Structures are given as C-alpha cells and as structure tokens.
Structure 1
C-alpha cells in the first residue's frame, strides 16, 4: 500500500523541498531551570567574529567571556550558558563553519573552544608568531617600553607558542640595542645573567615603567622660554626661509634679464650695439663677419652710424651718417615755409571758358 502511494505521487513533489529540521553540533546539557531568558541587549553587546584572516580568535574569546560574565541565571551551568550564547557572536564564514560541524557533537565549552581555535588559528600562523618571538629585536628609534609591549603583544596573540619563559627573557635581552642592553646591566649591577627568569621578567617590567614615565614627562614639560621643538627635527627660522626665497627670486630675475643681452668688450665706452647688416645676427659686429671684407661700404656705414649714435645731432648737411638727414630739405615731401600752391582750379576754369564756343539760344516753335 505504501509503495503504491509513493508511485502515485506526482513528479513535481520529488523536486519540492520537504520539511527541514536545523541540525546543530552543540548539545546543551540538561539544566534544572524550566524557563530562562537571555535579553536582546546582551546579544547586541557581543563582539562579532566573521572568520577573516586578519582577525584574532583569542581576542574574540576574551571579549566574549568578558561580556558573558555579566549574565547570571540562577541554577544554570556555566558551560551551558556559554554554549547557548556563543553561536550569536559568529557571523558569515564563521557561522557557516559552525553549521557545517554536523558530524561532531559538542557538549562542553572546552570542546567548542578547541574546535574554534583549530579552525581559525592554523599551524602556519602559529609557526610565524613563534619565529617572530625567537628572533625578536628592537627597532631603531623605539623606546624600551614600546619594545617590551610589542613582545608581550606577540605572546598574547599566540598563548600556545610553547616557548619557555627563560627563553623569552633571553630573546628579549639579546634583541635589545647596545645602549638599552647596557642600561639593563647597569640597573642590576652587571648580574643579569645570574637572575632567575621571574626576576629578569620583573626587571623588564620595572624598566618599562621607568621608560614610559620619562617619555611622558618629557612630552608634558612646559618650556620656560620660546616655542617647544620636536626631537629629531631641524627647524629653520622664519627670516632665514624668507631670505632664501628672496635670493632665489633675485637669481631668477637676473636670469630673465640676461636673456637676449649681447656681451660687450669691457674697455669700450660705447653703450650701443647694432645688429650685423650682412647676416642680421645681433651677437657680433658686421666687421667680425667672415665675409665683411667683400662689402667695405656697409662696414664703413655701420661704423659711422655707431660712432654718431651717442651724440645725435640735427645737422642735415653733415658728411657722416646721422638721423638729422631726415630733416634735409631735399629728402622730404614736406613743402617749405611760405610756399603757396598755384590756383590750379581757378586757371583751368578761366581757360575753359575762353575756348568754349558761345551757345545760341534755340528758337522757339509756336
């Protein structure tokens, strides 16, 4: 009967989704509380973990446990409350990973924590941080307290680095600069190698606090006179900068004014330089032209013009070239003073009237 009913089902039902039951790998242990409520404000306070490579899983666990510690339910196990609330802090890829663990059954907080770190803190990242710890070194210009905090930050990112404490102390001491290493030796009287790992760790903590105190004190110190200057910077005075700019502008102006000028001999009192008439080049005299010997008349004319330029006169009858020739009476179209043009129109009209035959009046026809 059942097989016949299955065969009689239409084909469309085989492609239609049936009822769905969400499967979760988390199995919350039984609690004695019949009803409980987790407020929505608590869920909103949870930090979100999206499963990206640049996120720190240990930091997310610390923030989750810090917020979850504010929630208390009477007669409710601690692991059970963590297992219920933790899935709300996972988003996107991290939430898909949790839902894909259908073949795994998680009943304790330690199990889900171990699976979470195994997924989002791979072996390659562990080796990278472990190598950064064992080869730790101080950066140039870095203060002592900054170096110490950077090492502790690496340890905090990877608590399972498996580097012993004595090895951490030795790596930090060897990675310091010569100046800071001498400071450590001087602070303990040169007996650093004879200290235990805990004593050396506490010594680094004390020196870090002193370094932070001195840096903060120097930054908040009020100068007695004049503006405060930043360390490591060379400041230039305002007047020095202005003088430098003025000098640069003067050089540029001199360069612009020197463009197009022609060098002149130092022993020549002449202040005028004419262009070469033969090649029209202003960089030399016509007498310096290679073929100037074939044109002596032009050379003589230019020489006379250059000699009379400094003492211009208004002598139209001079034997040398000068601009006064423009006023010569024979070289202009201008009429001399007192000259009157003949009455051309009047004479022409009189001659025309003399030669014109008189006209007889036409007879009138009646």
Structure 2
C-alpha cells in the first residue's frame, strides 16, 4: 500500500497491530499510549520483548554450532531444520554466504559430495580468472538447495 506524502514506515506502524495475535497482541495493548512513535521504536521494543539479548545469543550459537544428525537426518531434513533455526532468530545478522558456509560445513561427507556434484555446473560457469563463484552464483546455489 502506498499513500501520497505518507512514509512507508508510518503505514507499517499503523498496520502492524493487525498482524499480531496471542502474547504479541497482549504485549502491544499493554504498552503505554504514545510510547511507540516510530517504526524504529516499535522494532526495538518488539525485539527486546520477544528476542532479548540472551535469547538472541543462544539462538545465534545454535545456528553457528548446527550439525547434521548422523545417519538419521537426510540432507533435506537438515536443510529444513537449519532454516527453522534461521527463522527462529530473524535478526541473526549472518550473511547469506555465511549461512551457506555454516550449513555446508555441518553436512556429512556424503551429502557434501552430493552437493559439490550438483553445484559443479554453477561453479564451472565462473570466469577462469576467478577461483571462487560470484556472489550472484551463491543465490543460485541456494535456490538449488530449496528445490
């Protein structure tokens, strides 16, 4: 939605309450009137309430220490579980390349080999003057993982 001469952050601020339910709705209703005046105020208060620093650090550590469960977890199950961790900490701050690197290094050697084979076509398209794929190729590799 766009309104002339109205910043998009103001529109988000007005519509945000309609996206809440349960504990989040109760929290917002208990906030004192005029205590949230900007989108940044809202984001800061929401994150501090539902993702306090200790919880955020715990979730970031879970992402960093992620490992595929040996012999019982398929590649796709591991990918789903890893993405669940990322969604559980939406402000983790890890770049897409760091996320892929963390996931790849957490895989067992058979799944790493399978992924290497699947990615070979993408990597082979990189210019011979470069030894690593371009950042846009990382996005294409991520698309392969999701399908």
Q: Scaled by the length of structure 2, what TM-score is found? A: 0.67
Q: Quick check: 2:17–2:25 contact (8 Å CA) kept in 1?
A: no
Structure 1 residue corresponding to 2:140, chosen from 197, 202, 206: 202
1:75 offset after TM fit, Å?
A: 7.8
Is the radius of gyration larger for structure 1 or structure 2? 1
Structure 2 residue corresponding to 1:145, chosen from 49, 61, 76: 76
Structure 2 residue corresponding to 1:127, chosen from 48, 51, 57: 57
Q: 1:101 is paired with a residue of what secondary structure?
A: coil
The count of aligned residue pairs is: 135
Q: Quick check: 1:126–1:161 contact (8 Å CA) kept in 2?
A: yes
Rounded to whole Å, the distance in 2 between the matches of 1:177 and 1:156 is 23
Structure 1 residue corresponding to 2:39, chosen from 101, 109, 115: 109
Q: 2:14 is paired with a residue of what secondary structure?
A: helix
Rounded to whole Å, the distance in 2 between the matches of 1:204 and 1:93 is 32
Q: Quick check: 1:137–1:176 contact (8 Å CA) kept in 2?
A: yes
Q: Which blocks of at least 5 consecutive residues in structure 2 are unaligned?
A: 125-130
**Residue in 2 that maps onto 1:182:** 113
Q: Scaled by the length of structure 1, what TM-score is found? A: 0.31
Deviations 1:318-350 (A, max 9, x none): xxxxxxxxxxxxxxxxxxxxxxxxxxxxxxxxx
Q: 1:92 to 1:131 in 2, by over 3 A?
A: closer
1:165 aligns with 2:96: yes
Flag the structure with higher helix content. Answer: 2
Rounded to whole Å, the distance in 1 between the matches of 2:12 and 2:95 is 34
| 4+ residue runs over 6 A deviation | none
Structure 2 residue corresponding to 1:95, chosen from 4, 10, 26: 26
Q: Which blocks of at least 5 consecutive residues in structure 1 are unaligned?
A: 1-68, 210-366
